[in-house]
Amino acid sequence: MSPAVLLTLSLLACGGPAPPDPEPIFEPPEQPNIVIILLDGLRYDRTHIGGNDLLTSPTLDVLAAQGVIFDLAFSTSNESLLSHSALFTGLYPTEIAYPDYKQFLLPEQALTLAEAMEAVGYETAAFVAGGHVKAHFGFSQGFGTFEEGEDFGSFATTARLASEWLARRQEDKPFFAFVHGYDLHRPYPKASVFFHPYWPKGRTDLDRSLRKRNFTEFVFDGVYYPNFQPTRLTHAAGDSMLDPGIYKALEAHAAASAASGEGKAVPLSPSDREHITAHYDASLLCADTYVGMLLDDIIARGLWDDTLIIATSDHGEDLGDHGYYNHRANITDSTTHVPLIISGGALPPALRGTRTSELTDAVDMVHTVMDMAGSVPPAGARGRSVWALLQGREPPPKDFVFQQGVLGHSSVRTPTHRLVFLGLALIDPGYARHMAEDPIDGGSFVLYHSAVDRLETRDVLADNLVLAEQLRNELVAWTISLEEGTERMQLSPELEEMLRERGYW
Ligand SMILES: [Zn+2]
Ligand SMILES: [Zn+2]
């Protein structure tokens, strides 16, 4: 019992003054509208709530002021396709599909969050900015409306598409909407007023380079290598994609160029680095502005009080951290620590303006959203409901977040530390054996004291061998549980019944 309740009871018992009139009782809707706003590539520490002094995200700030901030939220991978697949299924990448980047997609047999929400009576709609979140990678499953803006496009388009849909949707059902934008994805410079709001020094030669789509993929350790030739892959679904293996190739190119003294190498100055970060920050302002317009529209249509908003991302972005300007070369906080805000008019008043340091990650999303909808998640979905946590229902504790990167890096993150296993591809048959048997201090592992060393710049493994071994054991046990697991996404009896009623079989 809380001290406040005890105080009230003791006042009543001794005949003291009557307690003040209670607040009007808040009655949340049984099935609130739920909107996931996914700002692709947004790292936590570039948001104002995450410590950026600049007011780069006024809309997110307002959502946060009226909602709950999760200060320790993580993506499950460091790449859009793998991360979104985990978010939509509550499964880890290697459980979802064979983790070969040329073939990976969200398979038809996966039961997605949208399918489950449709089955429990929601009207479902998604507005995605192309790229790796398109229908042909499997993401349209379960969405009654699925609209794609231009490839790697902006909320300028997808928020407008969502507004147009709000004007014409069925009004007898609650809705589940997913709205996505690639504004924070390279190339970072944005048009018009979003070009240089955080860069007072005006245009430089770097601006010409930054307009090239892949410029930042040619930068390693602060040096631009214009002669580097990246390789591309053709995905089984037909898309041409940059090979994630280019980062190892770029490191080799940099080493060869340094050894021979030949080939062009153009160092970026500290000012250049600030300039690139200023463009990334401006990209957030751009995304945030159009998200704000969508929220205005939700309010103007009188939907706010019945709506929960979840704002988050699928990965972060190295901004020169760890040598790179991208999100796929490393599994670190810079590439996987993301904002998570739960807000909206349907949020109980007691939760507004609060923040929590409970650990959570993208595989919690299926549990969380189904719980918000007053329903149960599909059996087999991993994770736990943070909605239950906010309401004091005590879901299972979460002491570790596990992640699988597109280059084969696996990581375990605790509230204070991160251990990364480097080196092999996820499809390598010796993957789990190497993870279990390689000497902990032999070069395959890195340990960061993330709570103190927030940019994860210092490997502290040599000084913390006991902790490193403990975390390795957790990582191995988790990896083996995935390999041996026969558990696939299964229907709970309730959900199966609902799906059958709606003609899924
Ligand atoms: Zn992404
Ligand atoms: Zn510029």
* Ligand in closest contact with the CA of 82: 1
* Ligand in closest contact with the CA of 84: 1
Are residues 70 and 177 located together in one domain of the fold?
yes
pTM for the model stands at 0.91
CA dist., res. 459 & res. 157, Å (int): 42
CATH code at position 409? 3.30.1120
Cβ–Cβ < 8 Å for 76, 82: yes
- Determine which helix (DSSP H) or strand (DSSP E) holds 207, and give its type and residue range: helix 205-210
- Token digits for 227? 């002669």
* Ligand in closest contact with the CA of 327: 1
Cβ–Cβ < 8 Å for 129, 158: yes
Are residues 293 and 374 located together in one domain of the fold?
yes
pLDDT score, position 7: 34
Give the angle 365-371-375 at the CA atoms, nearest 5°. 125
Distance 494 CA to ligand 1 centre (A): 33
* Ligand in closest contact with the CA of 202: 2
Strands (E), 217-291: 219-220, 223-224, 232-234, 240-242, 266-267
Q: Decide if 66 is inside a domain.
A: yes
* Ligand in closest contact with the CA of 276: 2
Are residues 311 and 423 located together in one domain of the fold?
no
Please list the alpha-helical segments (H only) found in 337-413: 365-372, 386-390
Distance 219 CA to ligand 2 centre (A): 17
Q: Decide if 8 is inside a domain.
A: no
Distance 190 CA to ligand 2 centre (A): 9
Q: Decide if 228 is inside a domain.
A: no
Q: Decide if 195 is inside a domain.
A: no
pLDDT score, position 201: 94
Distance 279 CA to ligand 2 centre (A): 6
Are residues 375 and 478 located together in one domain of the fold?
no
Number of structural domains in the chain = 2
Distance 215 CA to ligand 2 centre (A): 13
Distance 195 CA to ligand 2 centre (A): 7
Q: Decide if 245 is inside a domain.
A: no
pLDDT score, position 22: 58
pLDDT score, position 396: 92
Ranges of residues in the chain whose predicted pLDDT is under 70: 1-24, 483-505
Distance 272 CA to ligand 1 centre (A): 24
pLDDT score, position 51: 96
Are residues 335 and 424 located together in one domain of the fold?
no
Q: Decide if 459 is inside a domain.
A: yes
* Domain extent at residue 127: 33-188+272-399
pLDDT score, position 505: 37
CA dist., res. 206 & res. 204, Å (int): 5
* Ligand in closest contact with the CA of 281: 2
CATH code at position 119? 3.40.720.10
* Ligand in closest contact with the CA of 81: 1
Q: Decide if 223 is inside a domain.
A: no
